[in-house]
Amino acid sequence: MGPKQDHTSIVKQTAFSLGFDFCGIAQAQRLDADARRLEQWLSTGKQGSMEYMENYFDLRIDPQKLVPGAKSVITLLLNYFPSQTQNADAPKVSKYAYGRDYHEVIRGKLQFFLNILREKIGEIHGRGFVDSAPVLERTWAEKSGLGWIGKNGNLITKQSGSFFFIATMITDLELEYDDPFAKDYCGSCTKCIDACPTNAILPDKVVDGSRCISYFTIELKEMLIPSHMKGKFDNWMFGCDICQDVCPWNRFSKATTEIELRAIHEVLNFSLDDWENLSEESFNKIFKDSPLKRSKYSGIKRNLKFLSAEPFPPTP
């Protein structure tokens, strides 16, 4: 076995030993096609008020600007599908936010990952990213052979659907590369498009971020949600899973075995009254390690108020 094969084997064994469910590797290269798509998406305002999406454009499309001398992009998937669901009448929380903040969980794993590789292989340079840096992680996952990008913009695996966090490790280590995932198994299915209550999912795998329920309930910082969205949130208080819940490939989803992602008791068991009567002090204590802190107490209260408002009558 040559060095590349040996090192590739070490990378994949280490990934699985740290609890990642999938690991794929692609050659580090500039993403010119993605650059054009991203430029078009931004130029039509589909990022809404998410101005950070406009930053570091060159870094997003060229891994060598993030890690000088980069040769390989390692993509890792971590399943977050929960084993339990919320109370049926409670304001809905996206499944990814049931447990501890995934940024913290995965960031620790990536540091372990890099340390182990250095111990076993030698001095290498690399950086790990998890949804907090300008990396086009879904493209790299597709190039690494892990799955395809569905009509709802999510990476879908043939084996287990789409309820995965994606982490990326860019390194100057030369490895064997997996074949890109070449087929789109969405076919003629349009269930995600048809089910989206705000019409955020457009043709050609374009998602209008400025119309997504997740955008309004998490990313929007203004204290007023546009009134024309009333009656369209389907009781989602934080995030939205509609396009994933209706996806036929998610019938293969299995409950995560990652202890750190176990659902917080209150997320599963709080009633509407519990959420509405929650004090800021209690919110900060209960959800200090939760993704819900991204919306802050004021954002959660805003979302609850919006959900409780009488929806406007439909336009004749």
Burial class (CB in 10 A: 0-12, 13-18, 19+), 134: middle
- Are residue 33 and residue 167 in the same domain, yes or no? yes
**Catalytic residue chosen out of the listed positions 6, 34, 62, 131:** 131
Domain match, 120 and 241 both: no
32, 160: one domain: yes
Buried b (16+ CB within 10 A) or exposed e, 206-225: bbbbbbbbbbbbbbbeeeeb
Asked whether residue 99 falls in the same domain as residue 224, the answer is no
Instruction: Give the per-residue pLDDT at 282.
Output: 97
Whole-angstrom distance, CA of residue 300 vs CA of residue 200: 22
The answer to whether 219 and 50 are in contact (CB under 8 A) is yes
Q: Quick check: is 146 in a domain?
A: yes
Residues in the chain: 316
> Is residue 79 located within the same domain as residue 18?
yes
Is the residue at 314 inside a domain?
A: no
3-state SS assignment for residue 12: helix
Mean pLDDT (10-residue bins), the chain, 316 residues: 87 97 94 59 50 51 84 97 93 97 95 96 92 75 95 95 96 96 94 96 84 92 88 96 98 96 96 96 97 96 87 45
Clarify whether residues 300 and 166 are in a common domain. Answer: no
11 falls within a domain:
yes
Task: Let me know if 131 is a catalytic residue.
Answer: yes
Q: What's this model's pTM, rounded to 2 decimal places?
A: 0.89
State the first-to-last Cα distance of the chain, in angstroms, to the nearest integer: 70
* Structural domain harbouring 220: 191-246+275-308
Q: Are residues 165 and 205 in the same domain?
A: no
Last residue in a domain, options 140, 171, 202: 171
